[in-house]
A and B are shown apart, each in its own frame.
Chain A
């Protein structure tokens, strides 16, 4: 079975400050990991993914994420947050081998509020 935990329901940060959104995962094999963002009344937009290779992955809109196998984490980061980054962020995982049909399991989401 595969699962994802996003321990924070909401993260508040001042504009210009670093932003971190936490994610831990559980899979029986090696993971494929993803971050998505959802703006109000919109669908999910793909931000970045970790499949293999470098543990630091760079994605859209200045976001990056660090894969840490020993801590089974994949935290999303942005060095300097913008008000427009305020949205709902989802971490997702699939088992590299065992996820039939490319099944993704999503975390519960973290709402990010960036204040001016």
Chain B
């Protein structure tokens, strides 16, 4: 059983398109996150949701919109994709009081 899963694994698209990445966790955690890892492997948090409520919203363009239909899912929708959005996007989850976060396998987004 995969603890934190993401779909798709790879996403190649053209500038200007709109795309979504889905994330699901079956760990029963109450907090989920989206991270962006750039080409230099630098990892930065984008969003955090706790029980479907937005907790962290870093300085991310408005083109990025997270949606949490329930506490097991956190999807990321990106409008008007730009070349600079090319990166690996990781979903993660954690349980309140435990602090460590568990990461999904990542979605490699390539914008051409």
Contacts and interface: CB of A to CB of B under 8 A. Distances in A.
Contacts of A46: 100-102
A65 to B, nearest CB: 13
Interface of A, secondary structure class, is strand
Interface residues on chain B, size class: 20 to 34
A109 B41 contact: yes
Interface in A77-116: 88, 90, 94, 100-106, 108-109
- Which of A43, A44, A103 has the largest count of B CB atoms less than 10 A from its CB? A43
Interface of B, secondary structure class, is strand
B46 to A, nearest CB: 11
A102 to B, nearest CB: 6
B90 A43 contact: yes
Contacts of B43: 44, 90, 106, 109
Given A88-B41, A109-B42, A102 B106 contact: no
B103 A94 contact: no
Contact of A51 (B48, B92, B99): B99
A21 B50 CA distance: 32
A34 interface: yes
